[in-house]
Structure 1
């Protein structure tokens, strides 16, 4: 006569009407299950065949669920496996997959490819579709107040004469009118951190710094810069950048957890570099838009290239050592939000 095999498991019992765990012991004998806490019988006897057992995943606790909604949680995975084997019940698909090194490696490669594809192509495509689906008022709201913030720190009243500002505004009118966009021009003297520069805000405001105006030798060079900035506004790059940054930030927090920790910051570096890549894509797109707009006004796209070279030369001659580093060499090029000037010149030359 065979002796009865008795299995015992320590764990926590959850009644069907309460989420409060009760320390208990699960006893299985003759394929019937009981849950005991001291001298109290909490559940059973129940046929083991009617119990739903969660699939094993590493060493995480298992849940044994009863028909009345109650459940028993235990970390005794080895004992649970023997119980299931005695009834001919196999492990779930998840456990079989994670127990195979080959499947784990394949899963890791698929996950990496999926995440990379989503970050590199999925997020930009989704941001672009969303940006153009939103009304223009959304871009204006994002841009509102930005110029005021810049005026408090990095920008100052322009020192260009009123006559020079009026002349440039009049010179820019045909190109602005042809764009069909509500462009507003502003002239400012920039702090040293900005220097010779121009930028477009999502609201449709284009800012030229005094240093950039003085750097140009011909109006056509400034028209090339204006066409480039109009491209940023037309393609809603500001709104798309906000959407992409938000999506990447959410993804980074989901994957790395606490972004305030050092390890999380290190893990976030690839996402930061990817975001800089998005900026370079926007610059190329704005350059292509500018070349077409300039051609419509019979202006050679090389004028924009000439202005870019002037900016490049000004950067190399700047007094701060860290800003005078050759932007065409080493890792500084990759960390730049703008593409290398030589690459942009090649594209403009082809156009």
Structure 2
């Protein structure tokens, strides 16, 4: 029996488990720490194990079971030197090869034909944006939140974004005091970076670069920024945009219902979150959400206008989900019109004092831009 290390996707969560894989004659045994931290062993029948259609860079991916599929990611060198020789002349074989067609017969041929027709028709009829929206509907909220947690870890670690712990605590306390209702619990992280940036992660994470925070002079601007990003999360904009960046795999997921595989690919592409650019419609939706949310919570919705005014204007360099696409001037004009149409709820003086106090503590922590 041979033993090799691999990353194991158990079909329930997008995160991989570090696993020891024992290669037996007819069974592949996978031992890994489960969500509770206890050792667990799963067994795959070799005859039902396949090479997946897509593998991450530098790895070879095996697939097992019906939807939701399970996956094993081996380092390609390990696969070629240990796994492949162990099963020479036997499965695993790639989906679409002789053994799979023997098992599935006419169904396999029909799926391939429908796949080709569906791919061409979907691109022509709906376009990538509409297709991404359809794929996103396959992902339940609980899995979206788990995906968001994995994406957050990947992007903060992968992009090496240093966290400003003091202002992270204060900004989270501020947002809890604002108390805008949302489908996911919102968690904000303030990071130290010279770019003027902020972005939403599916499932409830918001990352704010301190250079953007440093530009703000009123607490209503911060409320507007966080409400705007919450709007992107509520409408699943960031999940749609990220899905669109891996459109080819998203099409396969739509046809086969392979949500687990899609989410693993999304985690591998988490770095795209720092530079997503939304369409005019999506930015309008998030701006409108922010105006209405602030008004309902008794905060001056003019904060949305003030927030947009501190963004770099057209022609400036900005790699951000809050970039000048669409043009900032057009968004400011639209926000002003919305502000005139909403009614601001009346809140108590204590609520106002709490927000002002938290904002003062946030500004006290401000770091000069020249420190970079």
Q: TM-score range by the shorter chain?
A: 0.3 to 0.5
Q: TM-score, normalised by structure 1?
A: 0.46
Q: TM-score, normalised by structure 2?
A: 0.44
Bigger Rg, structure 1 or 2: 1
| Larger relative contact order (Cα-Cα within 8 Å, sequence gap ≥ 6) | 2
